[in-house]
Amino acid sequence: MKLTELVDRLDEELRTDDYADLDASANGLQVGPPDAEIEHVAFAVDGVQETIDAAADAGADLLVTHHGLSWAGIERVTDQQYGRIAPLIENDLALYVSHLPLDGHQELGNAAGVADVLELTDRKPFGELGPECVGQRGVAPDPYAPDELRDRLATELDTGPGNVRLLDFGPDRIENVAVLTGSGTDWLDEAVEAGVDALVTGEGKGKVYHEAKEAGIHVALAGHYATETFGVQALQDLVGGWGVGTTFLDVPTGL
């Protein structure tokens, strides 16, 4: 498959253009000649030297990541940027990135994947960012006790050397849950206004402890990496269905 065709398909599915004014990430094709032929695609959460080298070693023609190289532009290709871009070019390895579009996808996205783990039903978009939503909320068919929610996340998510931290300030029965992966505690107020019992995210800021305590809501911090493996793996399944070979590169950070 030509790279241009694959990129067009991904951009259409992820509605990449709709996030152009919302996301600091330069979503879409970041590195690569559009006329390249793609036979093997590697998928990873982070576009870093380790995953770029691993994708090249796997014989991939394209690396698809959630976190890419360009955030509000690239001013200089030196030091760390050079160390990441040079092996892409040297190995004829293209790079495609989907940050907020992949967070916000209500079927293939990261929040949707965590909601699947928690078996949430009656799902709705959550996490307003301009006209888009970058998370999801839903209802647990059988309410979780706080420790049951924490243990399910710890068991099912790829936390690596990390663990799940639960700020246990909400009700004894957790039924309504909001999910916004990565660094999602800025949406705590929206979670409170929505009347959910718990907000599940990746990592927190210091202020969230008292904000959650005063609001009487649980906050589960399950790891930035661990909550964001779902989207790229869903894309792997999608692209694999297009007749292209795929590889998932799992490089957990524990953070």
Question: Does 99 show up as a binding residue in the annotation?
Answer: no
Q: What share of the chain is helix, strand, coil (3-state, %, to 5)?
A: 35, 25, 35
Residue 12: CB partners within 8 Å, gap ≥ 6?
A: none
Closest CA to 114 of 80, 71, 157, 143: 157
Question: Does 103 show up as a binding residue in the annotation?
Answer: yes
Cα 88 to chain centroid distance, Å, stands at: 22
Identity of the amino acid at 158: D
User: Could you give the C-alpha distances from 170 to 126, 167, 182, in angstroms and in order?
Assistant: 19, 8, 21
Query: The tokens 């402890």 sit on which residue?
Result: 209
Helix (H, G, I), strand (E, B) or coil at 142: strand
Residue 11: CB partners within 8 Å, gap ≥ 6?
A: 17, 28
Identity of the amino acid at 49: Q
Tally Cβ neighbours within 10 Å of residue 99.
Answer: 25
Identity of the amino acid at 115: A
Pairing outcome for strands 94-97 and 121-129 = unpaired
Question: Does 67 show up as a binding residue in the annotation?
Answer: yes
Q: How far apart are CA 194 and CA 197, in angstroms?
A: 9
Question: Does 218 show up as a binding residue in the annotation?
Answer: no
Residues of each annotated binding site: 66-67, 103, 224, 228
Q: Which residues are annotated as a binding site for a divalent metal cation?
A: 66-67, 103, 224, 228
